[in-house]
Amino acid sequence: MVFGYRYGEHHACMLWEKTGSGAYDWNVWNHGTAGQPQKRTLLQEVRSHAGMAVTCCRIPVVDPPPTPQDKLRAMTGFYAWVAWRLGEGPFKKYGKRNPKVRPNVPKIISPAWWTRLARFQLNRKKANS
């Protein structure tokens, strides 16, 4: 919300949480004075800026698109873990076992996955027939 005589150039506050069903039933916050955010009700804010025009501005908040690293961290499953561990495929440019791009797999890897990894690596060494 902005408060001002014509274009809201005097003061601004942000709606924080709805406290009831009325138009003024909101808690708001603003920068207050140096070193303090000020929290109060919207009705108190409007009364302290009596005579000024009040404008409610809606600013859409859009999540930023995921980064390539976010996409790697979102990967799951055995093969994502193998690629990360070996530094292959999409993980190649980050190097082997880079903690910054570790896929979403259990922190403690099960013995079954370790056995499966050993078999996976042995099968890679065999010649194709």
pLDDT of 54 > 90? The answer is: no
Supply φ then ψ for residue 61, to 5 degrees: -100, 115
Strands annotated E in 26-107? 26-30, 38-41, 53-55
Query: Which pLDDT score, from 0 to 100, does residue 63 have?
Result: 87
Using CA atoms, how far residue 31 sits from 38, 46, 48, in Å, is: 6, 15, 15
Q: Give the pLDDT band (50/70/90) at residue 9.
A: low
Give the distance, in angstroms, between the CA of residue 72 and the centroid of all CA atoms in the same chain. 16
pLDDT of 106 > 70? The answer is: yes
The enclosing H or E element of 116 equals helix 111-125
Q: Which of 2-6, 62-66, 70-74, 80-84 has the lowest mean pLDDT?
A: 2-6
Using CA atoms, how far residue 16 sits from 3, 4, 26, 117, 127, in Å, is: 17, 20, 7, 50, 64
- What's the rounded mean pLDDT across residues 39-54? 85
The tens digit of pLDDT for each residue in 72-105 reads: 999 999 999 999 999 999 999 999 999 999 999 9
Query: Which pLDDT score, from 0 to 100, does residue 24 have?
Result: 81
Amino acid at 91: F
What percentage of the chain carries pLDDT values higher than 70? 91
Amino acid at 47: R
Query: Which pLDDT score, from 0 to 100, does residue 40 have?
Result: 87
